[in-house]
Structure 1
């Protein structure tokens, strides 16, 4: 039985320091029926030269330059539309794949039914120097399997770079939503409505944490990230069908309200509060107080800063 084709879309933007380690990890895969596409989103460092060096040495690599800086969602879609794989991996080139990553996830797909659209796994978090920090499963417990729609609305538990996606899922969704600043929450909400997820309880990926990681910018001054979260919550509100799903969305909105307010994003806090109100639920004393304080734009960011310092030592 022939192996299904797997496409690895390697997304690069100013990953010069990590690029060789990332590309070497892709080339070292034990699974051989691979389509390798490297998309450079107009890096301003030496990344393009490194990619060209690899394409000369490894002609199986398809190199795409976006022509101008487009952002992650548009850059991925360029690679996806140029691809042919039955399964697709979205791989940022500051991360690292373990050698059996693709082989193990394809095997997992072949064990589960055709209604499974995503296989995801555990991950090893590393720093700039590729040193171990912690495992994803240590921080985010009880990874669910099957219908995960309520779970993806209510909480974060999937390490995005560990996902392998069925091509049919991306086709159904039209790829990533290019109006958004980041892709994972939106992809989870839209895909999990119609597709099951399978969890592979093995470390398949090293995820790098550094100051320029997209995940580090969610509650920063870059409001586009929060605006994207608001848009995804609006989509989720249109998709919920059961009381448990509604409760999951309420949980998510309350989380976003707290963090948006405590980072002085008053306009965005008001939008989250409006979404919560639209669900016709009693917000409770805390969120009525936040509404009042937010209307007066009273800054309490010191509370969040103290919490982060106490919990994470930052």
Structure 2
């Protein structure tokens, strides 16, 4: 029986320091029938040359160059559009998968409605533990994700042959959350794998470390992307802040 193709989407912008480790973690997967679509957002460092070297050595790796700098949402959406696989997953250009991520996710998704995700390690830039492992819930609904986004872009795994291709909203923050919510409007829940299958690299200068800025964008997400009422937005916003404190309690 022919093995299904898994499409992997990676946005890249000036990530020469980490992109090799990310690609190597894909190459080290025990499941080998995949395509890696790296969408470069007009990088100004050497990451393009590094990616091109990998493309020459492995035909499964493909570089897509954006014409203008357009941000992570449009880059990921371009990758989704180009994806040829029956399954879709994502890995950012500074994160890593453990070797069995694809194999386990592919088997695990068969037990679901078509959408699964996994727990992960949380390390610093030098790949040393920074926070305790993030252990995901066994299942999440649309309402659950509005309260706290337990699905990392790093471990989401979607059967697009079954659920179809959906796209991320074009916003600077929470674009991945927008995609998960779009899928969860059509299914009852996504299910979580309890053991860590990936490494999320926490970088001090990343957008996600500016918490006050994130709060502003979180409110805007409820109102402008999900079009929730002021009352519902306030309800979920309060829960989001509470759960955010718990998420990063070490």
TM over 0.5: yes
Matched with 2:196 is 203
Alignment of 1:103-252 (within 5 A): 103-112=103-112, 116-133=113-130, 134-137=132-135, 143-145=137-139, 148-167=141-160, 168-169=162-163, 171=165, 173=166, 175-195=167-187, 196-217=189-210, 219-220=212-213, 226-227=216-217, 229-237=219-227, 250-252=234-236
The answer on whether the counterparts of 1:117 and 1:197 sit within 8 Å (CA) in structure 2 is: yes
How far off is 1:252 after superposition? Answer: 1.6
Label 1:16 to 1:170 Cα distance change in 2 as closer, same or farther (>3 A).
farther
How far off is 1:163 after superposition? Answer: 0.8
How far off is 1:256 after superposition? Answer: 6.6
How far off is 1:199 after superposition? Answer: 0.9
The answer on whether the counterparts of 1:122 and 1:162 sit within 8 Å (CA) in structure 2 is: yes
Structure of greater relative contact order (alpha carbons < 8 Å, 6+ residues apart) = 2
Label 1:80 to 1:129 Cα distance change in 2 as closer, same or farther (>3 A).
same
1 CA distance for matches of 2:20 and 2:104? 23
Taking structure 2 as the reference length, what is the TM-score of the superposition? 0.85
How far off is 1:94 after superposition? Answer: 0.2
The answer on whether the counterparts of 1:185 and 1:232 sit within 8 Å (CA) in structure 2 is: no
The answer on whether the counterparts of 2:124 and 2:201 sit within 8 Å (CA) in structure 1 is: yes
How far off is 1:54 after superposition? Answer: 1.1
1:5 aligns with 2:5: yes
Label 1:6 to 1:214 Cα distance change in 2 as closer, same or farther (>3 A).
farther
Gaps of 5+ in 2: none
Greater C-alpha Rg: 1
1 CA distance for matches of 2:73 and 2:219? 14
2 CA distance for matches of 1:33 and 1:257? 40
Count of residue pairs the alignment pairs up? 242
1 CA distance for matches of 2:137 and 2:6? 24
Label 1:192 to 1:312 Cα distance change in 2 as closer, same or farther (>3 A).
closer
How far off is 1:44 after superposition? Answer: 1.7
Label 1:117 to 1:236 Cα distance change in 2 as closer, same or farther (>3 A).
farther
2:145 aligned counterpart, secondary structure:
helix
1:15 aligned counterpart, secondary structure:
coil
